[in-house]
Chains A and B, each alone.
Chain A
């Protein structure tokens, strides 16, 4: 069996993926505006998704590559915004830590409706390589804010971000003003009815008081060390 050449495979695919269906309708739809007000509204919205310049780690380096002329994301109507009040799209680029989480939620809540979120990179989807043993990483930003699109990669290529934006545009195109109430996420925060009990902290700070008073330290061997030892501990004589 011989493998077909690249050009023959291309020709085969081109022949098989041509437009199927009545040609009249295609001609009609390409020349006459057949649309509803919804479509017009959606088209206007999807062609100007203004992203917030949000980056906390290495994913933003790839995102910044989009700003340049090589990939040029202004072609998609994405105009970078430095204020959340002017942005429609939040591309969460980079690890979100517990310390950053309130700031991220605040930024999200400052954005005007309708707003969209792309979780970019493994860290924002699940915590990525920090998901196993990190003490600070948030395991996925969808625990903080509703996410529309998950974009895996560590970090993703700039083209992959375009792919995510194109998929998001498809989502925006399918929306309707009348159904906006249904699209609101009801369970924004991931919470389960947990069975944890509140207990007192074991860190009381008592161990710090032990040698705090230097006068209590024994001056010579005859003086006894006057420290109250915790109960049950063995007295060394």
Chain B
């Protein structure tokens, strides 16, 4: 089994920038909720009962060929910092991080699949893929579901489908979501309109970082709300259609910004480059927003293409728990801001100033020299 340190050394395959050409959608995620029949749900079960569920489910999950050489850990064996790091990597949920004895997280080697035992439900399994690939993510997680259902008796009702602790997950037990980077819609003030339209389709939209409606780094997550009354395929098809539309709005917003107000775009991207390259103290919020602009610049081809994935992995590395793990000690907020700036400066030290042009096709980047962006 993989150790925690090994898990952290290797970035997930969906983080390492295979998503080129689909820069608006960063990742697609599908999770399924499953429970054992006639067994108290984790929130109501006694500790003994939770432990017995864990003992039944964990060996089955670990035995799956997909999870071979993966990471498997009971939550009470992790420090709160380690749990937080897993949350920042989207491998476990915030709820799961709050749990201890009787709960576990199992992640496959590529970190494309992660399973949580005794979260809100007995079993939550998710697949993450780069770009817009909900169908692929669903197939991946569904494959595991089918293997597990032959050895574990999942709670299922002919009318209500898969039975979950919360009625909002009944039916398919499936939540599919995509993370979108929408700086064009934010800069052109169209984001409110677009998100409102999406909300009317019984889909949920929320900022990816930050609380409530606040969105940092112009990152948004769109997911299905309804899980009962439609098949998995129908839900995914509807979601993909909407996401494609939002992505296409985003692309035209960028195009229009470049045509109408190129100076403004150049200025924003240029300032972001300057600040990120030279700041010595940078708060999380500012860093996320500047990295978003740098990423936008890269997608407008002001920077070499590899800059996009550098931004994506920085998004993860500059979060609080990752910083503390990097430093190997607990940090005050001031220290965090300094280390955050240092990590960003180091990562971007050989990134050349932007080459700005209104015509995106003007830039013909050759294969980036090895040293351009230090991955």
Tell me, yes or no, whether A binds B: no
Please report B residues at the A interface, Cβ cutoff 8 Å. Answer: none
